Amino acid sequence: MTDEKKDEMKDEMKDEKKDEVEKRISINKIYLKDFSFESPQAPTVFRSGEWKPQTNLNLRSNHNAVEGEEDLHEIVLTITVDAKDNDTTLFLVEIQQSGLFEIAGYDGEEFSAIIGSFCPNILFPYARESIAGIIQKGGFPEFVLQPINFDSLYMQSRQQAAQAEAQGTEKH
Protein backbone atom coordinates (compact mmCIF):
# COMPACT_ATOMS: atom_id res chain seq x y z
CA MET A 1 0.00 0.00 0.00
CA THR A 2 1.37 3.39 -0.92
CA ASP A 3 1.93 6.15 1.59
CA GLU A 4 -0.68 8.22 -0.21
CA LYS A 5 -3.32 5.46 0.28
CA LYS A 6 -2.37 5.15 3.97
CA ASP A 7 -2.78 8.89 4.51
CA GLU A 8 -6.11 8.81 2.71
CA MET A 9 -7.35 5.97 4.96
CA LYS A 10 -6.19 7.81 8.10
CA ASP A 11 -8.06 10.93 6.99
CA GLU A 12 -11.24 8.89 6.42
CA MET A 13 -10.93 7.33 9.89
CA LYS A 14 -10.47 10.77 11.48
CA ASP A 15 -13.59 12.04 9.69
CA GLU A 16 -15.60 9.05 10.93
CA LYS A 17 -14.46 9.67 14.51
CA LYS A 18 -15.48 13.34 14.26
CA ASP A 19 -18.98 12.24 13.24
CA GLU A 20 -19.28 9.97 16.27
CA VAL A 21 -20.40 11.76 19.43
CA GLU A 22 -18.52 10.76 22.54
CA LYS A 23 -20.75 8.79 24.91
CA ARG A 24 -20.61 10.24 28.38
CA ILE A 25 -22.51 9.98 31.67
CA SER A 26 -21.52 11.96 34.72
CA ILE A 27 -23.17 12.93 37.98
CA ASN A 28 -23.22 16.70 38.46
CA LYS A 29 -25.24 16.82 41.68
CA ILE A 30 -27.30 14.58 43.96
CA TYR A 31 -29.79 16.38 46.15
CA LEU A 32 -32.95 16.03 48.20
CA LYS A 33 -35.77 17.81 46.37
CA ASP A 34 -38.65 17.07 48.76
CA PHE A 35 -39.01 15.00 51.92
CA SER A 36 -41.91 14.54 54.32
CA PHE A 37 -42.71 12.37 57.34
CA GLU A 38 -46.07 12.09 59.05
CA SER A 39 -47.03 10.12 62.13
CA PRO A 40 -50.68 11.03 62.66
CA GLN A 41 -51.25 8.55 65.50
CA ALA A 42 -48.28 9.66 67.66
CA PRO A 43 -47.96 9.33 70.63
CA THR A 44 -50.80 6.78 70.91
CA VAL A 45 -49.13 4.42 68.44
CA PHE A 46 -46.16 3.97 70.81
CA ARG A 47 -48.38 2.85 73.70
CA SER A 48 -49.89 -0.18 72.01
CA GLY A 49 -48.27 -3.52 72.82
CA GLU A 50 -47.85 -5.27 69.48
CA TRP A 51 -46.58 -3.55 66.41
CA LYS A 52 -47.17 -5.48 63.18
CA PRO A 53 -47.94 -2.96 60.48
CA GLN A 54 -48.60 -3.57 56.81
CA THR A 55 -46.16 -1.50 54.78
CA ASN A 56 -46.68 -0.34 51.23
CA LEU A 57 -44.01 0.94 48.89
CA ASN A 58 -44.71 3.11 45.85
CA LEU A 59 -41.87 3.93 43.49
CA ARG A 60 -41.67 6.17 40.41
CA SER A 61 -39.12 8.24 38.56
CA ASN A 62 -39.37 11.31 36.35
CA HIS A 63 -37.02 12.84 33.83
CA ASN A 64 -36.75 16.52 32.99
CA ALA A 65 -34.32 18.06 30.55
CA VAL A 66 -32.68 21.10 32.13
CA GLU A 67 -33.62 24.20 30.16
CA GLY A 68 -30.71 25.79 28.36
CA GLU A 69 -28.41 22.81 28.95
CA GLU A 70 -28.43 20.33 26.06
CA ASP A 71 -26.92 17.34 27.90
CA LEU A 72 -28.05 18.05 31.48
CA HIS A 73 -30.97 16.03 32.82
CA GLU A 74 -32.75 16.01 36.17
CA ILE A 75 -33.89 12.59 37.34
CA VAL A 76 -36.29 12.51 40.29
CA LEU A 77 -36.83 9.23 42.16
CA THR A 78 -39.98 9.43 44.29
CA ILE A 79 -40.50 6.80 46.98
CA THR A 80 -43.54 6.67 49.23
CA VAL A 81 -43.67 4.30 52.20
CA ASP A 82 -46.71 4.01 54.41
CA ALA A 83 -47.30 1.75 57.38
CA LYS A 84 -50.82 0.89 58.46
CA ASP A 85 -52.44 -1.11 61.21
CA ASN A 86 -55.74 -2.13 59.63
CA ASP A 87 -56.95 1.17 58.15
CA THR A 88 -55.05 3.39 60.59
CA THR A 89 -51.96 5.11 59.21
CA LEU A 90 -49.01 4.76 61.57
CA PHE A 91 -46.52 6.67 59.45
CA LEU A 92 -46.16 8.01 55.94
CA VAL A 93 -42.85 8.96 54.32
CA GLU A 94 -42.35 10.48 50.89
CA ILE A 95 -39.03 11.46 49.40
CA GLN A 96 -37.99 12.95 46.09
CA GLN A 97 -34.32 12.09 45.72
CA SER A 98 -32.94 13.90 42.71
CA GLY A 99 -29.84 14.14 40.62
CA LEU A 100 -28.44 16.18 37.80
CA PHE A 101 -26.80 13.93 35.24
CA GLU A 102 -24.84 14.93 32.18
CA ILE A 103 -25.82 12.41 29.49
CA ALA A 104 -24.34 12.82 26.03
CA GLY A 105 -24.00 10.68 22.94
CA TYR A 106 -26.89 8.31 23.68
CA ASP A 107 -30.16 8.17 21.87
CA GLY A 108 -33.27 6.05 21.64
CA GLU A 109 -33.29 2.89 23.69
CA GLU A 110 -29.89 3.52 25.30
CA PHE A 111 -30.97 6.94 26.56
CA SER A 112 -34.27 5.55 27.87
CA ALA A 113 -32.44 2.78 29.76
CA ILE A 114 -30.08 5.30 31.34
CA ILE A 115 -32.85 7.55 32.65
CA GLY A 116 -35.16 4.64 33.49
CA SER A 117 -32.69 2.32 35.21
CA PHE A 118 -29.12 3.56 35.59
CA CYS A 119 -29.91 6.94 37.17
CA PRO A 120 -32.58 5.66 39.62
CA ASN A 121 -30.06 2.96 40.65
CA ILE A 122 -27.60 5.73 41.56
CA LEU A 123 -30.23 7.70 43.53
CA PHE A 124 -31.81 4.81 45.45
CA PRO A 125 -29.14 4.31 48.18
CA TYR A 126 -29.40 8.00 49.13
CA ALA A 127 -33.19 7.77 49.38
CA ARG A 128 -33.04 4.47 51.29
CA GLU A 129 -30.68 5.96 53.89
CA SER A 130 -32.86 9.06 54.36
CA ILE A 131 -36.05 7.00 54.72
CA ALA A 132 -34.50 4.62 57.28
CA GLY A 133 -33.16 7.54 59.30
CA ILE A 134 -36.38 9.54 59.42
CA ILE A 135 -38.50 6.52 60.38
CA GLN A 136 -36.13 5.74 63.25
CA LYS A 137 -36.11 9.41 64.33
CA GLY A 138 -39.91 9.25 64.27
CA GLY A 139 -39.69 6.70 67.10
CA PHE A 140 -40.35 3.57 65.05
CA PRO A 141 -38.26 0.40 64.83
CA GLU A 142 -35.51 0.13 62.24
CA PHE A 143 -36.86 0.04 58.71
CA VAL A 144 -34.71 -1.41 55.95
CA LEU A 145 -35.71 -0.99 52.32
CA GLN A 146 -34.48 -3.97 50.36
CA PRO A 147 -32.47 -3.41 47.18
CA ILE A 148 -34.54 -2.77 44.08
CA ASN A 149 -33.72 -4.16 40.65
CA PHE A 150 -34.31 -1.08 38.48
CA ASP A 151 -33.15 -2.96 35.38
CA SER A 152 -35.99 -5.44 35.83
CA LEU A 153 -38.54 -2.70 36.58
CA TYR A 154 -37.44 -0.82 33.47
CA MET A 155 -37.81 -3.92 31.30
CA GLN A 156 -41.27 -4.60 32.76
CA SER A 157 -42.39 -1.05 32.01
CA ARG A 158 -41.12 -1.36 28.41
CA GLN A 159 -42.99 -4.65 27.98
CA GLN A 160 -46.19 -3.15 29.40
CA ALA A 161 -45.88 -0.16 27.09
CA ALA A 162 -45.37 -2.45 24.09
CA GLN A 163 -48.41 -4.55 25.08
CA ALA A 164 -50.54 -1.44 25.54
CA GLU A 165 -49.42 -0.14 22.15
CA ALA A 166 -50.20 -3.50 20.52
CA GLN A 167 -53.66 -3.56 22.10
CA GLY A 168 -54.28 0.01 20.95
CA THR A 169 -53.46 -0.84 17.34
CA GLU A 170 -55.63 -3.98 17.44
CA LYS A 171 -58.71 -1.95 18.39
CA HIS A 172 -58.49 0.33 15.35
**What CATH number corresponds to the domain at position 65?**
3.10.420.10
CB of 76 closer than 8 Å to CB of 61: yes
Q: Does residue 100 form part of some domain?
A: yes
C-alpha dihedral sign at 18, 64, 79, 153: negative
The band of 109, judged by pLDDT with boundaries at 50, 70 and 90, is very high
- pLDDT greater than 60 at residue 108: yes
Average pLDDT, the chain: 89
Q: Give all strands (DSSP E) within the chain, no chain letters.
A: 24-38, 54-65, 72-85, 88-104
Per-residue model confidence (pLDDT) at position 165:
82
Q: Does residue 17 form part of some domain?
A: no
Per-residue model confidence (pLDDT) at position 113:
95
C-alpha dihedral sign at 144, 150, 77, 80: negative
Q: What are 24-58's pLDDT values in tens digits? A: 999 999 999 999 999 999 998 888 777 788 999 99
How many domains, in total, are found in the chain?
A: 1
Q: Does residue 11 form part of some domain?
A: no
Per-residue model confidence (pLDDT) at position 6:
58
Closest C-alpha to 26, from 129, 86, 101:
101
Q: What are 126-159's pLDDT values in tens digits? A: 999 999 999 999 999 989 999 999 999 999 988 9
Q: Does residue 5 form part of some domain?
A: no
Can you give the pTM of this predicted structure? 0.81
Closest C-alpha to 79, from 119, 117, 36:
36
Residue 131: count of CB within 10 angstroms of its CB: 23
**Average of pLDDT values for 8-18?**
58
Q: Does residue 9 form part of some domain?
A: no
Range of the domain at 163: 22-171
C-alpha dihedral sign at 13, 15, 20, 21: positive
Q: Does residue 92 form part of some domain?
A: yes
